Amino acid sequence: MQVVPVWSAVLDPCVLRARIASEEANAFCRFDARARRARRVSGTEGEHIAFDCLGEVARIDLVGERLPAEPVLLSFEIIADERLGSQLAALQRIYFHAGAGGQANGLRRQHLSLLAADARAAGANLRDVAELVLGPGDWPGDGEHRKSLVRRLVAAGTLLCQKGPAAILQSWPDGNG
C-alpha cells in the first residue's frame, strides 16, 4: 500500500492537477521545478510537486508523468465544482505572485496593457484609462509620467490585439517580459 502525500489533489482542493503540454509552446510560461526549489514525490499515478510561493506552499499533481529536468509547459485541469475558487486562487498564486519574477511581471503588464487598450477602444480618455488600470493618482503626474505610462500601455495592448492570440500567450512583444 502506498501513502498519498498530504498535498495530493485527492485530499486538498487547492492542489492543481496538471499534465505536461506540447513542446512547441513559448518558454515564457514554462514551469521550472529547479528554479522553484520544488519538493517532488513520485507515486503510481504520477508525481506530487510542492514549492514555496511567497511564504505559502503551492502544490501540483502531475498526472501520469514525472517532471523532466528542463522547464516544461503545464496544462492544468481546472474543474468547475466546489473546488473552482480554490483552484483559481492557487493558479493565480503560482503564475502571478510566485517567485516567477519577470514572468509574473510580464503577465501583469500584458494584462494591464490589454485592459488599457480595451478601455481606450471603448472611448475612455487617457485620464480615465489611468484611473481604471493604475488606480487613483495625480494626473498627469510629475513630468507627465502617469500619462506617458498609460500611452505606452495602450500602444502595447493595441499591438498585442493586432498580433492576435499567439502574441498574447507568448512573451511581452518587445522582448522585455
User: Cα separation of 169 and 25, whole Å?
Assistant: 9
DSSP classification of residue 70: S
Number of residues in the chain? 177
Instruction: Read off the pLDDT of residues 45-74 as tens digits, 9 standing for 90 and up.
Output: 888 888 887 667 788 999 988 888 888 888
- Rounded to two decimals, what is the model's pTM? 0.50
Using alpha carbons, list the distances in angstroms from residue 31 to 60, 126, 151: 11, 36, 32
Q: Where along the chain do its domains lie?
A: 16-100, 103-169
Q: Which three cell numbers stand for residue 164?
A: 492576435
- pLDDT value for 4: 46
DSSP classification of residue 136: S
List all residues 6 or more positions away from 70 whose beta carbon is below 8 Å from its beta carbon: none
Instruction: Read off the pLDDT of residues 61-120 as tens digits, 9 standing for 90 and up.
Output: 999 888 888 888 888 888 888 888 888 888 877 776 544 445 556 677 888 888 899 999
User: Cα separation of 152 and 101, whole Å?
Assistant: 21
